[in-house]
Amino acid sequence: MIAAGEIEIAVDELRWLLSGCHDFVDAHRLLGELALADDDLALARGHFGIAYQLGTKAAGNLKGTLPYRLSGNQSFHESGKGLVWCLSKLGKHDLAQEVAGALLRFDPTDPLGIGQLLAELAAADQPSAAPHAEAQRPHDR
């Protein structure tokens, strides 16, 4: 539906899925991406944040890693990246750093470029930043 441009129907279907299973990480990630595409940072942050919290709760006191290369971990990591981007854009830089640090501990190989994203966001927030220094949205790459 999303690929066909039927965004409203997709949003309704995803919300319906969440009504039956609030802990559906993939649905929250997709709703976050759709909200981001609609320039609704607060809503995107909410959905990415829920997906991120669900993942960290499921990980518990994990001593190892949660590699992105495993398909079951990908929505968690992608949601975390979206959350970092939203938090930074909303001026919540400390929270963005905290989430980024956790994501890098879960997968130190940094396959989604969280470290680079933080650097780009920090550069874009500098008063002397050039107008073209805007960091790309997390899913534009």
CA dist., res. 97 & res. 114, Å (int)? 10
Q: Widest CA span of the chain, in angstroms?
A: 48
In angstroms, what CA-CA distances link 93 with 51, 77, 96, 99? 19, 18, 5, 10
Domains defined for the chain, CATH in brackets: 7-130 (1.25.40)
- Full-model pTM: 0.85
Please, which residues have CB within 8 angstroms of residue 59's CB and are 6 or more apart in sequence?
Answer: 66, 106
Q: Which residues of the chain have pLDDT under 70?
A: 1-5, 127-137, 139-141
pLDDT in tens, 37-65: 999 999 999 999 999 999 999 999 999 99
